[in-house]
Amino acid sequence: MKRHLTILSAAAAVVIALTVSGCGGSSAADAGEHRASEVKELRYQGWANTVTLPELAQDLGYLGDVKLNWVGNTISGPQDIQSAATGQTDFGGAFAGAVVKLIEAGAPVKAVINYYGEDAKTFNGFYVKEDSPIRTARDFIGKKIAVNTLGAHSEAVINTYLRKNGLTPEEIKLVQLVVVPPNDTEEAIRRGQVDAGSLGGVLQNRAIANGGLRSVFSDFDLFGSFAGGPYVLRTDFIAQNPNTTRTFTTGVAKAIEWARATPRKEVIARFTKILKERGRNENPAALQYWNSVGVPAKGEIKDEDFTRWNEYLKSVGIIKDDLDPKKLYTNEFNGLISK
């Protein structure tokens, strides 16, 4: 596994790397040569037992001559985008608030397309055992909730839920968040190692099918359908590889629309094929619980994808004033929506 860097050290590493390497511009006469010399292999981290949208895009032929180079797995969005910021990988994806935190710390990355989101079929729920006394926000005081990482989607949703239901900042601090790998969260709840846990996607649907758990609240309950987080690339990578960036971004957008338009059974069959063929010793059993792509149409990024989290980001000290979301993202390279 790659070492987990702090966000501040990630930003510092990027600054050093850029200072050492420099960024020279190309003349118009060199444009053709520049295009030919663009990076055509993108290093990335995957998720165990899961097929990501870029992996689906490559299998469908949407990435053209751009190839993916898997360098390992991650269990954390913040770690994934830190790896991209420091040049260990070429792209990474995370919760929108984690992207804000990284950029606020000085890392030169930019969001190019949303890759996950919530809808009526695909969302993150917060589950307890069927006989748990936890039924309201106030019941969580003094309890442990399993999340896959701190400072990301689940923490922001929990904070927002508690705050909207009248808990004070001091009371919210009494709710303990415990980091548990997503694949272990269901069992942690059942064994009583935690009082509740965040479950989403196929892991959530499998847990429901196994019975004995119930949801107290979900992010879909709070916000309805929304985009949860984007893929980011370094700004120097984008400047030096605009065509590769467009191929990647548009390919992911096409994969989103393919998954939306294709019958569920066919999507699951495609995921299963990809999982088996890539030879990572994974178990495809959970893929049968996939329900929907979740991402709003074509992966387009909007201001509200970031401003939705203004109050949470202020409460934990990431920002002091309201966000200026325009500096965080671009839709320029998404060929399904850009003019």
Name the percent of the chain lying above pLDDT 70: 89
Which residue has 């987080």 as its token pair? Answer: 229
Are the C-beta atoms of residues 204 and 64 closer than 8 Å to each other? Answer: no
Mean per-residue pLDDT for 254-261? 96
Can you tell me whether residue 135 is helix, strand or coil? coil
Using a 10 angstrom Cβ sphere, with 0-12 exposed, 13-18 middle and 19 or more buried, the burial of residue 323 is: buried
What mean pLDDT is reported for the chain?
88
Name the percent of the chain lying above pLDDT 90: 71
pLDDT of 151 reads: 85
Tokens found for residue 333:
């390279």
Fold of 124-223: D-Maltodextrin-Binding Protein; domain 2 (3.40.190)
* pLDDT tier for residue 288 given thresholds of 50, 70 and 90: confident
Helices 182-190, 201-210: axis angle to 10 degrees equals 30
Question: Strand 92-93 vs strand 213-218: parallel, antiparallel, or unpaired?
Answer: unpaired
Q: Give domain 7-17+39-119+227-327's CATH number out of 3.40.1390.10, 3.40.190.10, 3.40.640.10, 3.30.1330.40.
A: 3.40.190.10
Which residue has 């508690």 as its token pair? Answer: 162
pLDDT of 208 reads: 92
Q: Give me the helices (H) in the chain, please.
A: 7-21, 31-36, 53-59, 77-85, 96-104, 153-164, 169-172, 182-190, 201-210, 219-223, 235-240, 242-261, 264-277, 304-307, 310-315
* pLDDT tier for residue 221 given thresholds of 50, 70 and 90: very high
Q: How far apart are CA 301 and CA 229, in angstroms?
A: 9
Are the C-beta atoms of residues 318 and 104 closer than 8 Å to each other? Answer: yes
pTM: 0.82
The segment(s) of the chain belonging to CATH 3.40.190.10 are: 7-17+39-119+227-327, 124-223
Mean per-residue pLDDT for 328-334? 97
